[in-house]
Amino acid sequence: MNKNQKNKLNKILSKVGDLNFKRRIIAMLDYLDIQDGEVILDMGCGEGFYSMIFDQLHNCKVIAVDYDKAILAMAGGWLENSEKVSFEEGDICNLRFDDNYFDKILCTEVIEHIEDDTKATKELYRVLKPGGILAVTVPNSNYPLVWDPFNKIREWLGFGHFDPLNGFWGGIWAHDHKRLYSPNSLKTLLQKAGFEVSNLGVLTHYGIPFNHLVLYIGKQFYTSFPVPDSIKNSMEKFKWDARDDCVIEKISIFSLLLNFGLKIMKWADHFNDRNFSLDTSSMAVMALAKKKNK
């Protein structure tokens, strides 16, 4: 990215409270290295934040696919005026696209939700052009104790993890994760699908204790209680270009707590500004995979 793109990206990421998510975004953009005119698949697009970044930074065509109609409607609302991004419902194991259709594919925090991850990665390989790039992240099975002590201790004791469908207790397993991955298991999965894995890494070792619970409680707080609109706007990552009314209105206890908590999280996160060895406990495993040229 050029200097202007980097500056704009920093502004876009200014309201991202999940700092592990922020690091994943930066890493995935580096892996993809999007060029003008390319066709990008945002597989498992969710609310469309990555697609919004592509739309803002690059002159490319983006097809954002997810199986969840409700979340697609939400994503479409955030990007209703985009001429570069289109959203559609789809199954990662049975995509409608022709062989060799996409120049690049983003698939972040998706395949851990899929029953047949082998079939899913083979389908991504099919629709990617020869020489094309797949950028992928998954949650690390070797996650730090401090991030999710409850599940980690249960696993050590042989009791397994809490119910992945439980937002509070699910922790690192929440949102119906079928499995977690090690760097080696992710590499093996991608190679079995036909990919060449040219880069493999781990992201985010340091964080505050019970980080998942802090984020969960924070989200419940500002979505379920009568929090001032200025606070909600200051926490909404999609409203990165909106005026920050928190600095204009009278300072409230909400804004003080928010800013204090964010400062602590950023302080802990700055220790992640390094390259970790693959055996380091971390929140995410990432891979840069390429489809072989025929």
Domains of the chain: 3-145+175-208+272-290 (3.40.50.150)
Spell out the per-residue pLDDT of the chain, length 294, in tens. 888 999 999 999 988 988 999 999 999 999 999 999 999 999 999 999 999 999 999 999 999 999 999 999 999 999 998 999 999 999 999 999 999 999 999 999 999 999 999 999 999 999 999 999 999 999 999 999 999 999 999 999 999 999 998 888 888 998 899 999 999 999 999 999 999 999 999 999 999 888 877 777 766 665 565 555 555 555 678 888 876 554 444 456 666 777 787 889 899 999 999 999 999 999 999 999 999 887
Kind plus residue range of the DSSP H or E element containing 189: helix 183-193
The model's pTM is 0.91
pLDDT digit string, tens, across residues 206-222: 998 888 777 777 666 65
Confirm if 268 and 208 have CB atoms less than 8 A apart: yes
Q: Where are the beta strands (DSSP E) in the chain?
A: 39-43, 61-66, 85-89, 102-108, 128-139, 196-203, 284-290
pLDDT digit string, tens, across residues 52-66: 999 999 999 999 999
Confirm if 160 and 152 have CB atoms less than 8 A apart: no
What distance, in Å, lies between the first and last C-alpha atoms of the chain? Answer: 29
pLDDT digit string, tens, across residues 102-150: 999 999 999 999 999 999 999 999 999 999 999 999 999 999 999 999 9
Structure tokens at 49: 């934040």
Neighbouring CB atoms inside 10 A of 44's CB total 23
Neighbouring CB atoms inside 10 A of 182's CB total 16
According to DSSP, the β-strands at 128-139 and 284-290 are antiparallel
Neighbouring CB atoms inside 10 A of 146's CB total 16
Query: In angstroms, rounded to a whole number, what is the distance separating the alpha carbons of residues 206 and 136?
Result: 21
Closest CA to 134 of 89, 200, 202: 200
